[in-house]
Every structure is written in C-alpha cells, then in structure tokens.
Chains A and B, each alone.
Chain A
Amino acid sequence: MTAKWGLRGLAFGYLGLLLLAPVAMIFYKTFEHGLGPPVDAMTSPDALHAIWLTLLMVAVAVPLNTVFGVGCALLLVRHRWSGNAVIDGIINLPFAISPIVIGLSLYLLYGTGGWFGPTLSEWGVKVLFSTPGMILASIFVSLPFVVRETVPVLQEIGTEQEQAASTLGASAWQTFWRVTLPAIRWGVAYGVVLTTARVLGEFGAVTIVSGSISGQTETLPLFVARAFENFDEQGAYAGAIVLALLALTTLLLMSVGGRKAKASGGSTPVGPGEVAISMSSAKEVS
C-alpha cells in the first residue's frame, strides 16, 4: 500500500517538476496582468500571420503525411517484399536526424548552388525563404508518425477480416474503406495527433529554410523565439500559450471522437500503451 502510494508520489513529483511546473509557469506569466496584454500581443499583424502560417503548415503537411503514412503502412505490412527493409529504414530518418540538419539539407538542395534550386528559380518557383520550403521541412520532420502508429495496428488486426470482406463480394477499395480503415482508425488518429503536434512545434528545420522574416515566413515557434530574443516577454509567453492551446485542441478533438466511438461500442482508442493492452485482452477472448 505504502509502496504503491510512494510510486504514485514519485511519478507525480517527477512529471510535476519536469512537465507541469514549466507549463504552469508560462500560464502564470502570460495571464499575470489579466487577459488584456496577451490578447494585444496575439492580435498584432505579425502574430496573426504567424498563427495563420502555422495552421497552413498543419493543413498541408498533416493530410499529406496521413495519406502517405497509411499507404506506406499497408505496403509494409500487407505486401511483403525485399525492399521493405529499406523503406522501413528510410522512414525512420527524420527521427534519427536533428531537425537543424534536415533544414540544412533542404537549404543545400534548394539553394542557389543546390541541385534543384537553379532549375526551380528559372521556372519562377521560390522554395527557400517562402512557404513551399517550410511546408517541405514540416513534411520531412513529421513523416514517420502515422506510419509508425499504423503498422503495429495493421499487423494486429491480421488479414482475416479483409479476406472475409472479399468473400462477401467487396472489392479491394470497398474492403479498405469499410473494413481496414475503421479497424485501424485509432492507430491512424494517434499518428495524426503526433504529426500535428510535431508540425505545430517545429523550429529547427523551419528556421533554416524560412529565414524567419516576420510577417512573411514566421511561424508561431519562430515568432516566440524572436519575441524572446527581443525581450518581448509578453509576446513570447502569449505565443507559447497559443501553441499549447492548439496542441491541446488536437488532443481534445481526438478524445472526444474516442468517447463517441466508445459510446457506440467501437474499440477503444488512444496511445500505443492502450493498444498493447487491448491486444492482450483480445488474445484472451479468442
């Protein structure tokens, strides 16, 4: 009993000190003098543009990485061939490489001396220091999440439900939409949340390719960093709060969706830990 409470205390203390205290401090500092200053800081043209640009990154990178991620997971799990190991390794690259290095590599590739840079600028396409480059960087850094979350769920559900669907007359496309996707939706949803969080918060790679031009190529994290460097504490804190709220909204949307699905009897959602638990209980039942 005491050991149990001791462990709980330790877990809370650890999380509190490392995670909760800094976040609470930001909240406190932001609203120290009421709602006025943070609202003012966030309604300046530069701040609004930064919010808009950040949401644009999410709106482009997340759907692309979701479609790619699910397709790639299907390829890896359902169509075994020798190239899979290579694809599997390449997908992990963004995890292995520091974001700043990713930014540098994009800079080299699309810069004036790079492989693609000169050709693209002949065509009038500006990648570096503008939105396309930042979107590329966002896609790069957040690419593995949906694949990584979907692969184990796909392996877990097996192929029998899909085979049953085909004997019942469903085409491959119908089987995917009616059987496979609903069965893996929690893995995909968790991947989407992680992807969104990563794109929202991306700093290193985007700093390099964007050039951080305020009001033009400045996302929220870059806005926060510039505010901080310019001793604009109010702007930095308020920006940080907006970022945190955006991420929390994503999480909230997912758990609301999860509760709805649970109420209607669907399988339970969320993190990899919970997926593992539902896997072991599924084995007991069968």
Chain B
Amino acid sequence: MGIAVEGARKRFGDFQALDDVSIDVPDGSLTALLGPSGSGKSTLLRAIAGLEALDAGQVAINGRDATATPAQKREVGFVFQHYAAFKHMTVFGNVAFGLKIRKWAKPQIGDRVHELLRLVQLDGLAERYPDQLSGGQRQRMALARALAVEPQVLLLDEPFGALDAKVRKDLRTWLRRLHDEMHVTTIFVTHDQEEAMDVAEQLVVMNEGRVEQSGSADDLYDHPANEFVMSFVGEVNRLGEHFVRPHDMTVLLDPDEGSEQAMVQRIVALGFEVRVEFVLADGTEVWAQVTRAELQKLELREGQIVHLRAGQRKSFSVAA
C-alpha cells in the first residue's frame, strides 16, 4: 500500500533525470524527497502524479498499478511551488473546482469548501481572488483545492520554496499538524535538509537521478551511506579518507593520542554556537562547532596553535 515506484527511468534529451529509481512510501506516512536541483526529485514526484510519462518503470498507488493511468484519473492531490492558482476564480471557485468536475450538488460543494477553508484557516476569504492573497495564503488555498477531492495521496512540489523564511517555518509546522490529523499518504519535495528533517518521518535522498539513501532523519545523519548523503544532510569536514561532523571535533590545548596540530584561523560567533576555523599542518582547512562556554574556557585566539581530535570519523569505500 502507499506509493511504490519500481525502476523508474526518464530522460530529457541528453539529461538522465531518473536513472533506475525505486522508492517505497508507507501508507499514511509523510515522506520527503530531498536533493539538490537537477537530482530528479521533482521529476519523480511529477511521474507519480502522472504529469510526466516514464520511459521505463512502474508506479503503484495504494497497490494498484497506475503507470498507464493519466493524471486526470490518478486521484492525487498536487501542490505546485508557484501555487498554480486559477487566477480568474475566487478562493471558493478554486477549492470547488475538483468537486464541480465531479458534478457534486451545489449545497454539498458549499459545505465541503467551507469545511476545507476552515481547515486551512482561510474562512472569510472565500470571495477573494488569488491576486488579493499573500503567498502563504495562496499556498494554503492550493492545498485546500488539492485536498477537496479526497485524494489517495498528496504530492507537494517544493511547496514552501517561493515563501519567505518566517512564513515557511509556520507553514511547515502547520503541514506537520495537518498530516497528523488527516493521515493521507504525503510526499513532499524539497532541497532544504532542515525542512525535510523537521517535517518528514521518512527521507529519500536523491542525487543525479538516483536514490542515494532512504530512512529516518536520525538514520541518515548518524549512518549516512556515502559521502554525498553525509555532506547533504549536515556539515562535514574532510580529513584525508575520513569525514567528521564539525560538532564531533574536540579542541585541545595540549597534544593527545590521535590528535593533530592545527592553527586557529578565524573565530565566527553565530549566537550560541561558535564556528572556529583551523588550518592543519598539511594545509587542510577544517572547522569545529563549539559552544560559547567552551570557547571562553579555552580562551582561543586567532593564530593560536592547538590540537584537534576527531571523534566519530566515517570513511566510505571508494567504490560507493
């Protein structure tokens, strides 16, 4: 059940957007497709919605093969980054669209639309036009429109990408709560790892048209499958063959077993956290994340020679 994609391939001219992608999204879960631009995440989402035809592979929605089903009949709710609001219709008209297509009776449409507008906190704005709404309101309207027809799955393509930081944070908390109430299988695409970890139960990390790893946020952070995942889901230092998170770097004033000599290059205070940049004897640049208290205890100065010990190193075989 849920959504299953098997061996998906898609090519646009010379560009391989999807290269043998398989994912499994459990029924009722909230899953994030995470990756840099051009990683194929949006193409995968559009293929699940039927907005893009796959060159090869299958898409199954709730156990039924949907590969040959057109978007019109897939019963998916799709939310676009730029809202795709019907500009010539009111908020009411937008949300009612799918119900009118399904030839619902007028009173039922009215009831359902107002129920949804309450859910997305837009009641009272039903007669407004999309032009008269803020970006956040438009996106909530788009969400209500997608939910109106009770889709089997909800697909969101960078839904908060066009919004400013504050609205973004509010909306993602709100989406999380909405999902807890509705339990409709949801996939959302993002390039922001913090957003993905904040909202989703399961993350699928994509790169160059392939799935690099999928799992919970903790899984990916603590047990990344490869260098790409390790550096995409968090900050990372490279020490020869090894990779270390900046908060796993310990700064020592005296040498210790396994420590390395380094010179403090720059100290950047970012509120509670402090970023200390070093250069090693071989010229490698690394940085450590320390707290304000640690910094004061160590009394670090720029130009000072210290010793670094890296805990929790990871190395990945070159073949991966």
Would you call B88 and A266 a contact (CB within 8 A)? yes
Would you call A165 and B82 a contact (CB within 8 A)? no
Contacts of B84 in A (CB 8 A): 160-161, 163-164
Q: Which of B68-76, B215-223, B224-232, B296-304 lies at the interface with chain A?
A: B68-76
Minimum distance in angstroms from B93 CB to a CB of chain A: 10
Contacts of B101 in A (CB 8 A): 168-170, 174
A183 at the interface (CB under 8 A from B): yes
Would you call B88 and A167 a contact (CB within 8 A)? no
Contacts of B34 in A (CB 8 A): none
Would you call B51 and A169 a contact (CB within 8 A)? no
* A157: nearest chain-B partner, CB-CB: B87
Contacts of B75 in A (CB 8 A): 169
Cα A173 to Cα B76 with chains together (Å): 20
* B155: nearest chain-A partner, CB-CB: A167
Would you call A169 and B72 a contact (CB within 8 A)? yes
Would you call A164 and B102 a contact (CB within 8 A)? no
Would you call B72 and A170 a contact (CB within 8 A)? yes
Would you call A163 and B129 a contact (CB within 8 A)? no
Would you call A286 and B82 a contact (CB within 8 A)? yes
Cα A267 to Cα B88 with chains together (Å): 7
Contacts of A168 in B (CB 8 A): 97-98, 101, 145-146, 149
Beta-carbon contacts under 8 Å, B126-162 to A: 129, 131-132, 135, 142, 145-146, 149, 162
Contacts of A250 in B (CB 8 A): none
Would you call A286 and B72 a contact (CB within 8 A)? no
Beta-carbon contacts under 8 Å, A170-195 to B: 170-171, 174, 178-179, 182-183, 185
Contacts of B87 in A (CB 8 A): 161, 183, 267
Cα A164 to Cα B130 with chains together (Å): 15
A92 at the interface (CB under 8 A from B): no
Minimum distance in angstroms from A263 CB to a CB of chain B: 12
Would you call A178 and B97 a contact (CB within 8 A)? yes
B86 at the interface (CB under 8 A from A): yes
Would you call B86 and A166 a contact (CB within 8 A)? no
Cα A286 to Cα B130 with chains together (Å): 11
A265 at the interface (CB under 8 A from B): yes
Cα A166 to Cα B78 with chains together (Å): 10
Chain A: residues with CB nearer than 8 A to chain B? 160-161, 163-171, 174, 178-179, 182-183, 185, 265-267, 285-286
- 17 cross-chain CB contacts under 8 A: A163-B71, A163-B80, A164-B78, A164-B142, A166-B72, A167-B71, A167-B74, A167-B77, A168-B97, A168-B146, A169-B101, A182-B86, A265-B90, A265-B129, A265-B132, A266-B129, A267-B87
Q: What would 5 more interface pairs be, CB under 8 Å, given A164-B142, A170-B98?
A: A160-B84, A167-B51, A169-B98, A170-B72, A286-B83
